[in-house]
Amino acid sequence: MSERSNSFAGIRRMAVEGKWFNPANLLTALRVALAPVIILLLMADTQLISAVSNSTLAGIVFVIAALTDKVDGYYARRYDAVTRLGQFLDPLADKLLMIPVLITLSCLGLLPWWAVTVVVLRELLISGIRFVGARRGITFPASWSGKVKMFSQVVVVGVLIFFPGSAHSIWMQTLVYFMVAITAYSGIEYIFRARREIFGPPSSDVKTP
């Protein structure tokens, strides 16, 4: 109980001191806020702008949202604005952007349900691991597989939004299979990292000969 209180107290302290209020974290929040805009554009029955299709508008908004992931990280490193809260929220924002959009594309018949299910289960599992790690003061920087996973998801979603007619092509299905494979692999990698760094024995308990 005291551990949870200390965790919440730390978050409150950061909010009061204003450490969380920086451009990097605001860009992270923007990434989450743009997800509903993308979904509404994809699901809209009427064309909002006569000269541009809704899917093209959704694609433009998605590209902007995806770019914030790079910009907020660059700003945080360039201006020494890296915070523990930002390290926790940044991967969470990725999930809050990608999962709803992937589900929407599946509802539109552009992505198979099994592929979306694998992605959602992986993201929920890793979010739980990150939450447990954050409560214990342990952060999980993105691994190479996690970065490739995110890049593959962005590519698949971006192509499907801009070119929905390619959904059932062989090359698009190949991309989807690759996305699912690297997503599953990165999830397994995180599980082993969590087992070692969170649930493993403390280093002080390890006896040296």
User: Positive or negative CA dihedral for 153, 159, 164, 166?
Assistant: negative
Q: Please, which contacts does 73-76 make with residues 24 or more away whose CB atoms are closer than 8 Å?
A: 73/24, 75/22, 75/23, 75/24, 75/27, 76/22, 76/24
The whole-number pLDDT of residue 131 equals 77
Check residue 200 and give its pLDDT. 64
CB 127 within 8 A of CB 95: yes
Residue boundaries of the structural domains of the chain: 2-200
Distance CA 188, CA 156 (A): 21
> Which tokens sit at 78?
């360039």
pTM, 2 dp: 0.78
109: Cβ–Cβ under 8 A, 6 or more apart, which residues? 167
CB 207 within 8 A of CB 201: no
Distance, in Å, from the CA atom of 193 to the CA atom of 16, rounded to the nearest integer, reads: 33
Within the chain, what is the greatest distance between any pair of CA atoms? 75
Instruction: List, in sequence order, the alpha helices (H) in 44-110.
Output: 54-78, 84-107
Coil, helix or strand for 14? Answer: helix
| Residue 181: count of CB within 10 angstroms of its CB | 13
Distance separating alpha carbons of residues 25 and 208, to the nearest angstrom: 43
3-state secondary structure of 188: helix
Q: What is the mean pLDDT of each run of 10 residues along the chain (209 residues)?
A: 49 49 78 93 83 90 90 68 67 88 95 95 86 73 82 95 93 96 92 77 47
Instruction: State which fold the 2-200 domain adopts.
Output: Four Helix Bundle (Hemerythrin (Met), subunit A) (1.20.120)
